[in-house]
Amino acid sequence: MFVGSRSRRSPGRPARTTTVVAAAAALVALLGACADASIGQGAAGDPAQPPAPNPPELAAFYDQQLTWGPCGGFAGSAADAAAFADPKFDCTRVNVPLDYAKPDGPTAQVALLRQKASGGPRIGSLFFDPGGPGASGTSYLANASSRLPPQLGQRFDLVGFDPRGTGASTPKIDCLDDRENDEERTKVFADPSPAGVAAAETDAKSYADRCAQRVGPDVLANMGTRDASKDMDILRAAVGDQKMNYVGYSYGTELGTAYAEAFPQNVRSLVLDGAIDPTQTTVDSSVKQAAGFQLAFENYAKSCATQPQDRAPCPLGTDPAQATRAFNTIIQPLIDKPVPVGDGRTLSFEDAVTGATQALYVSEYWPILSRGISEVASGKGRILQILADSYYERDEQGRYTNMLEAFQSISCVNQKPVTDPAEVRELNEKADQAAPYRSTGRGVVAAKDPCAFWPVPPTSEPHTPNVQGLPPVVVVSVTGDPATPYQAGVDLAQQLKGSLIKVNGEQHTASLQGNACLDDKVAAYLIDLKSPDAGAECTLDPA
């Protein structure tokens, strides 16, 4: 969901993106200092279009019988342990080929967490992916199921899954230990000289080398969306469903689009919220996303400048036009002099920018951002560090999930790397110009990121989706979404010949998160296959 550390990637690379609900649970915690037969699938879908036959070479995977049990051993963090222990959930792992070109070779396992349908008639399973790439769908569902519209839990088995390499799935992408993760976050590459570029690229190559050594090239080569989308069809069959019902947020829209391309006949319903446009190049998507974050920053600054008099003064002043400069003045000194956090660590420039950017994902976080900026101005960094810790999924004991390592690894096989020095400079300059609030102020460091040194080639490339035979789908796009800008949703809906729901608001993704207008439309589509009217529009409540 958030912008990643530039010690691991260039400033222009896409940010991590997950649903706001999943992130909010982690942030609030930190700041609190048996396969059932599907009923009605054929009737609910298109009777004239039966599901595609299962590939015979994968029969052992499609026909496997699942054993469900308690979820306690599936929790990826101490924060998730209580949620996973709830007896309303059961869990399992599904076997899939590690390499689909070698179905008789090594296997991987995809973790599932399920809440069985409580009413009827049951439609089938509803799968959720919260984004990332790298986010845990089991964690998302364990924490969010009680907030979903109740009618969904009555008619569907709700299923969260951890895409291959992530969460409780195996083999796990794990490139760094906790100490190394802490160390990486202290690194700042702000020297634009040839020596500074060389140092940044040495670090990027070292990271790629460690992933290759600790995870293995054979595993890394098969961690992309191409393979995860094929896993989804095995998951559908393994739980006993004839057709797929799916809600994907952010990167989950990329995964859902890939599934729609590969298995259009097997789709019953797809909701894609926070769209990633599959036609965009790495450069295009990176620069547009940077501009989206800058717009969110400017909207925050306007709100901050006009906040009620009974609140503390805005740390960026009362002139929104000067807010970027004011923010730079407060944050850029951290490059040379980090400020104490209070737990033995110091707040680096990179973590300050990461923490601030996280708070831009939803307007409810803006007051927290103001407090964090004020703290830095007074020589302390606790709040922005907490925000950055939430992004990195670091708990209070200093333990990390593998979210960020999975994000980096999956991203590197999903996108063509930028390796030409001139193109690297162009990308970083455009990104810096598009989002000046996160600039070092010392010039662009035209260094290649870890993907340029990745040990395996990408398995996806920009393209226009081919979805012949796909039934109606729904795309949701928020006008003020910083991570996946609104226009990408408009474009994806056109590419998939689906319906668009426009959502007026200032946050990243919005479906099934409490807005009655939007949730009613999405639930009506998922349950009754009622597509929203042309021009459908909802508005989020202001924070």
Active site residues: 250, 481, 508
Asked if residues 418 and 452 have their Cβ atoms less than 8 Å apart, the reply is yes
The Cα diameter of the chain in Å comes to 68
Rounded to 10°, the helix 194-215/403-414 angle is: 100
* Residue 53, token pair as written in the block: 């036959």
Asked if residues 125 and 239 have their Cβ atoms less than 8 Å apart, the reply is yes
Measured CA to CA, the distance from residue 173 to residue 60 in angstroms comes to 25
Asked if residues 110 and 164 have their Cβ atoms less than 8 Å apart, the reply is yes
In the DSSP assignment, the letter for residue 308 is: -
Report the SS3 class of residue 537.
strand
Asked if residues 451 and 417 have their Cβ atoms less than 8 Å apart, the reply is yes
Asked if residues 166 and 136 have their Cβ atoms less than 8 Å apart, the reply is yes
Asked if residues 188 and 348 have their Cβ atoms less than 8 Å apart, the reply is yes
Size (the chain), residues: 543
* Residue 283, token pair as written in the block: 């450069």
The C-alpha angle with vertex 138 and arms to 133 and 139, in degrees rounded to 5, equals: 85
Instruction: List the end-to-end C-alpha distance of the chain, in Å, as a whole number.
Output: 19
C-alpha of 285 from chain center: 15
Asked if residues 356 and 387 have their Cβ atoms less than 8 Å apart, the reply is yes
Residues 6+ apart with CB under 8 A from 94: 64, 66, 109, 110, 112, 231, 234, 235, 238
- What is the residue whose two structure tokens read 């989206």? 292
Alpha helix positions (H), 263-402: 282-305, 323-331, 349-359, 366-377, 382-392
Q: Are strands 267-273 and 244-249 parallel, antiparallel or unpaired?
A: parallel
Asked if residues 431 and 12 have their Cβ atoms less than 8 Å apart, the reply is yes
Phi, psi of 527 (to 5 degrees): -85, -50
